[in-house]
Amino acid sequence: MSNSNTSQPDVIREFERIDASVVADASKFAASILADVAGRRGTLCSRVAPLAPSMRIAGPALTVEVRPGDNLMIHAAMAIAKPGDVLVIDGKGDETAALMGEIMVSQCKAIGLAGIVIYGSVRDTEALVEMGFPVYAVGANPNGPTKNIPGRINWPIAVGGVTVNPGDLIVGDADGVVVIEREKAASLLGAAAQKVADENKRLEGIRGGGQLRPGWLDDALRKAGVLKEGETL
Protein backbone atom coordinates (compact mmCIF):
# COMPACT_ATOMS: atom_id res chain seq x y z
CA MET A 1 0.00 0.00 0.00
CA SER A 2 1.42 3.38 -0.95
CA ASN A 3 1.88 6.11 1.65
CA SER A 4 0.02 9.29 0.65
CA ASN A 5 2.51 11.35 2.67
CA THR A 6 5.60 10.23 0.75
CA SER A 7 5.25 13.13 -1.66
CA GLN A 8 5.17 15.71 1.12
CA PRO A 9 8.46 17.48 1.92
CA ASP A 10 9.79 17.65 5.46
CA VAL A 11 9.27 21.42 5.39
CA ILE A 12 5.75 22.44 4.36
CA ARG A 13 5.86 26.18 3.80
CA GLU A 14 2.19 26.95 3.27
CA PHE A 15 -0.83 25.77 5.24
CA GLU A 16 -4.33 26.97 5.97
CA ARG A 17 -4.41 29.14 9.08
CA ILE A 18 -7.45 29.74 11.23
CA ASP A 19 -9.13 33.04 10.31
CA ALA A 20 -7.70 36.08 12.11
CA SER A 21 -11.17 37.23 13.18
CA VAL A 22 -11.78 33.88 14.89
CA VAL A 23 -8.43 34.22 16.68
CA ALA A 24 -9.38 37.72 17.87
CA ASP A 25 -12.74 36.54 19.19
CA ALA A 26 -11.29 33.41 20.81
CA SER A 27 -8.59 35.44 22.56
CA LYS A 28 -11.31 37.07 24.70
CA PHE A 29 -12.06 33.75 26.42
CA ALA A 30 -10.15 31.88 29.09
CA ALA A 31 -8.50 28.65 27.99
CA SER A 32 -10.73 26.82 30.48
CA ILE A 33 -13.90 28.13 28.84
CA LEU A 34 -12.75 27.01 25.39
CA ALA A 35 -11.66 23.62 26.71
CA ASP A 36 -15.08 23.07 28.31
CA VAL A 37 -17.09 23.91 25.20
CA ALA A 38 -14.70 21.80 23.10
CA GLY A 39 -15.74 18.72 25.06
CA ARG A 40 -13.17 19.01 27.85
CA ARG A 41 -10.38 17.96 25.56
CA GLY A 42 -7.44 19.51 23.76
CA THR A 43 -5.55 20.81 26.79
CA LEU A 44 -1.82 20.22 27.03
CA CYS A 45 -0.46 18.54 30.14
CA SER A 46 0.33 20.84 33.05
CA ARG A 47 4.08 20.44 32.49
CA VAL A 48 3.65 22.95 29.65
CA ALA A 49 3.29 26.20 31.57
CA PRO A 50 3.84 29.93 30.99
CA LEU A 51 7.08 31.46 32.23
CA ALA A 52 4.90 34.12 33.90
CA PRO A 53 1.20 33.90 34.86
CA SER A 54 0.42 37.10 32.96
CA MET A 55 1.41 35.62 29.59
CA ARG A 56 -1.38 35.08 27.05
CA ILE A 57 -1.33 33.41 23.61
CA ALA A 58 -3.85 33.21 20.78
CA GLY A 59 -3.06 32.31 17.19
CA PRO A 60 -2.69 29.58 14.55
CA ALA A 61 -0.20 26.80 15.16
CA LEU A 62 2.95 26.57 13.10
CA THR A 63 4.11 23.08 14.07
CA VAL A 64 7.72 21.97 14.47
CA GLU A 65 9.10 18.53 15.26
CA VAL A 66 12.69 18.29 16.50
CA ARG A 67 14.92 15.63 17.94
CA PRO A 68 15.53 16.09 21.68
CA GLY A 69 18.10 18.79 22.37
CA ASP A 70 18.40 20.00 18.75
CA ASN A 71 16.86 23.26 17.50
CA LEU A 72 17.87 23.32 13.83
CA MET A 73 14.27 23.03 12.64
CA ILE A 74 13.09 25.78 14.98
CA HIS A 75 15.43 28.18 13.19
CA ALA A 76 13.99 26.97 9.87
CA ALA A 77 10.44 27.45 11.14
CA MET A 78 11.20 30.99 12.28
CA ALA A 79 12.50 31.76 8.78
CA ILE A 80 9.10 30.95 7.21
CA ALA A 81 6.77 32.00 10.05
CA LYS A 82 4.30 34.84 9.57
CA PRO A 83 3.16 37.51 12.04
CA GLY A 84 0.49 36.15 14.37
CA ASP A 85 1.69 32.54 14.20
CA VAL A 86 2.30 30.48 17.34
CA LEU A 87 5.36 28.24 17.18
CA VAL A 88 4.30 24.88 18.63
CA ILE A 89 7.35 22.69 19.08
CA ASP A 90 7.43 18.98 19.80
CA GLY A 91 10.70 18.68 21.68
CA LYS A 92 9.70 15.25 23.05
CA GLY A 93 9.41 16.68 26.56
CA ASP A 94 13.20 16.68 26.89
CA GLU A 95 14.65 18.79 29.72
CA THR A 96 18.37 18.13 29.24
CA ALA A 97 18.97 21.17 27.01
CA ALA A 98 17.23 24.42 26.20
CA LEU A 99 15.76 24.66 22.71
CA MET A 100 15.38 28.45 22.78
CA GLY A 101 16.71 31.42 24.71
CA GLU A 102 16.78 35.21 24.66
CA ILE A 103 18.22 35.60 21.16
CA MET A 104 15.72 33.32 19.40
CA VAL A 105 12.75 34.61 21.38
CA SER A 106 13.79 38.19 20.60
CA GLN A 107 13.76 37.23 16.91
CA CYS A 108 10.28 35.73 17.28
CA LYS A 109 9.04 38.93 18.92
CA ALA A 110 10.57 41.04 16.14
CA ILE A 111 8.89 38.87 13.48
CA GLY A 112 5.55 39.54 15.16
CA LEU A 113 4.73 36.01 16.26
CA ALA A 114 1.96 35.55 18.82
CA GLY A 115 3.93 33.24 21.09
CA ILE A 116 5.83 30.01 21.58
CA VAL A 117 4.77 26.66 23.01
CA ILE A 118 7.63 24.21 23.58
CA TYR A 119 7.30 20.63 24.73
CA GLY A 120 10.84 21.00 25.98
CA SER A 121 13.04 23.46 27.84
CA VAL A 122 14.20 27.07 27.45
CA ARG A 123 16.87 29.24 29.05
CA ASP A 124 17.52 32.93 29.85
CA THR A 125 14.20 32.83 31.69
CA GLU A 126 14.71 36.08 33.60
CA ALA A 127 15.28 37.92 30.33
CA LEU A 128 12.29 36.19 28.71
CA VAL A 129 9.97 37.15 31.56
CA GLU A 130 11.21 40.73 31.41
CA MET A 131 10.66 40.74 27.64
CA GLY A 132 7.04 39.76 28.22
CA PHE A 133 6.78 37.70 25.04
CA PRO A 134 4.54 34.65 25.68
CA VAL A 135 6.59 31.48 26.13
CA TYR A 136 5.20 28.20 27.43
CA ALA A 137 7.62 25.37 28.19
CA VAL A 138 8.10 22.32 30.42
CA GLY A 139 11.14 23.71 32.20
CA ALA A 140 14.44 25.57 32.05
CA ASN A 141 18.00 24.38 31.53
CA PRO A 142 21.16 26.46 30.98
CA ASN A 143 22.60 23.86 28.60
CA GLY A 144 22.47 24.88 24.95
CA PRO A 145 21.17 22.78 22.02
CA THR A 146 22.82 21.32 18.96
CA LYS A 147 21.88 22.48 15.45
CA ASN A 148 22.47 19.56 13.10
CA ILE A 149 19.61 17.04 13.22
CA PRO A 150 16.76 17.17 10.68
CA GLY A 151 13.10 17.36 11.69
CA ARG A 152 9.81 18.42 10.16
CA ILE A 153 7.77 21.62 9.88
CA ASN A 154 4.00 21.90 9.52
CA TRP A 155 3.27 18.23 9.98
CA PRO A 156 0.93 16.90 12.69
CA ILE A 157 2.77 16.69 16.02
CA ALA A 158 2.08 15.47 19.54
CA VAL A 159 2.63 17.99 22.32
CA GLY A 160 1.77 17.39 25.95
CA GLY A 161 -0.60 14.54 25.12
CA VAL A 162 -2.48 16.41 22.38
CA THR A 163 -2.29 16.18 18.60
CA VAL A 164 -1.64 19.58 17.00
CA ASN A 165 -2.15 20.20 13.30
CA PRO A 166 -0.82 23.20 11.38
CA GLY A 167 -3.34 26.04 11.52
CA ASP A 168 -5.13 24.84 14.65
CA LEU A 169 -6.20 27.47 17.17
CA ILE A 170 -3.85 27.82 20.14
CA VAL A 171 -5.05 29.70 23.22
CA GLY A 172 -2.99 29.92 26.38
CA ASP A 173 -3.24 31.73 29.71
CA ALA A 174 -2.13 31.22 33.30
CA ASP A 175 -3.89 27.83 33.46
CA GLY A 176 -2.11 26.40 30.41
CA VAL A 177 -2.75 25.80 26.71
CA VAL A 178 -5.77 24.50 24.82
CA VAL A 179 -5.71 23.36 21.19
CA ILE A 180 -8.90 23.65 19.11
CA GLU A 181 -9.15 22.14 15.64
CA ARG A 182 -9.14 24.83 12.98
CA GLU A 183 -12.38 23.57 11.45
CA LYS A 184 -14.28 23.64 14.77
CA ALA A 185 -13.06 26.84 16.37
CA ALA A 186 -15.55 29.32 14.87
CA SER A 187 -18.52 27.12 15.78
CA LEU A 188 -17.53 27.11 19.46
CA LEU A 189 -17.48 30.87 20.00
CA GLY A 190 -21.22 31.17 20.64
CA ALA A 191 -21.13 28.35 23.17
CA ALA A 192 -18.14 29.97 24.87
CA ALA A 193 -19.99 33.27 25.21
CA GLN A 194 -23.04 31.49 26.66
CA LYS A 195 -20.87 29.59 29.15
CA VAL A 196 -19.30 32.84 30.35
CA ALA A 197 -22.78 34.34 30.83
CA ASP A 198 -23.97 31.24 32.72
CA GLU A 199 -20.92 31.20 34.97
CA ASN A 200 -21.22 34.92 35.72
CA LYS A 201 -24.86 34.39 36.69
CA ARG A 202 -23.87 31.53 38.98
CA LEU A 203 -21.15 33.62 40.59
CA GLU A 204 -23.61 36.44 41.22
CA GLY A 205 -25.92 33.95 42.94
CA ILE A 206 -23.11 32.63 45.12
CA ARG A 207 -21.83 36.07 46.09
CA GLY A 208 -25.36 37.21 46.85
CA GLY A 209 -25.96 34.18 49.05
CA GLY A 210 -28.97 32.99 47.08
CA GLN A 211 -27.40 30.03 45.26
CA LEU A 212 -25.01 28.24 47.55
CA ARG A 213 -25.21 24.92 45.75
CA PRO A 214 -25.72 24.09 42.06
CA GLY A 215 -29.30 23.50 40.94
CA TRP A 216 -28.35 20.34 39.05
CA LEU A 217 -26.78 18.57 42.05
CA ASP A 218 -29.77 16.51 43.27
CA ASP A 219 -30.61 15.25 39.77
CA ALA A 220 -27.01 14.24 39.17
CA LEU A 221 -26.88 12.39 42.49
CA ARG A 222 -30.08 10.52 41.61
CA LYS A 223 -28.72 9.51 38.22
CA ALA A 224 -25.54 8.30 39.92
CA GLY A 225 -27.58 6.21 42.35
CA VAL A 226 -26.49 8.19 45.40
CA LEU A 227 -30.03 9.49 46.07
CA LYS A 228 -33.29 7.62 45.56
CA GLU A 229 -35.98 8.97 43.23
CA GLY A 230 -37.67 11.91 44.92
CA GLU A 231 -34.98 12.16 47.60
CA THR A 232 -33.01 15.37 48.09
CA LEU A 233 -29.98 16.37 50.12
103 is annotated as contributing to ligand binding? yes
pLDDT for 40 equals: 95
Choosing among 3.40.50.2300, 3.30.420.40, 3.40.50.9100, 3.50.30.40, the CATH entry for 20-183 is: 3.50.30.40
- Torsion angle of alpha carbons 217, 32, 20, 188, nearest 10°? -20
Task: Report the distance separating Cα 93 and Cα 202, nearest Å.
Answer: 39
Report whether 122 contacts 135 (CB < 8 A).
yes
102 is annotated as contributing to ligand binding? yes
- pLDDT tens readout for residues 97-138: 999 999 999 999 999 999 999 999 999 999 999 999 999 999
Mean pLDDT to the nearest integer, 43-68: 98
Task: Report the distance separating Cα 145 and Cα 92, nearest Å.
Answer: 14
Whether pTM exceeds 0.85 = yes
55 is annotated as contributing to ligand binding? no
101 is annotated as contributing to ligand binding? yes
- pLDDT tens readout for residues 20-46: 999 999 999 999 999 999 999 999 999
**90-127 exposure pattern, b = at least 16 Cβ within 10 A, e = fewer:** bbebbbebbbbbbebbeebbeeebbbbbbbbbbbbbee
206 is annotated as contributing to ligand binding? no
104 is annotated as contributing to ligand binding? yes
How far is C-alpha 185 from the geometric centre of its chain's CA atoms?
13
Going from N- to C-terminal start, the domains of the chain cover 20-183
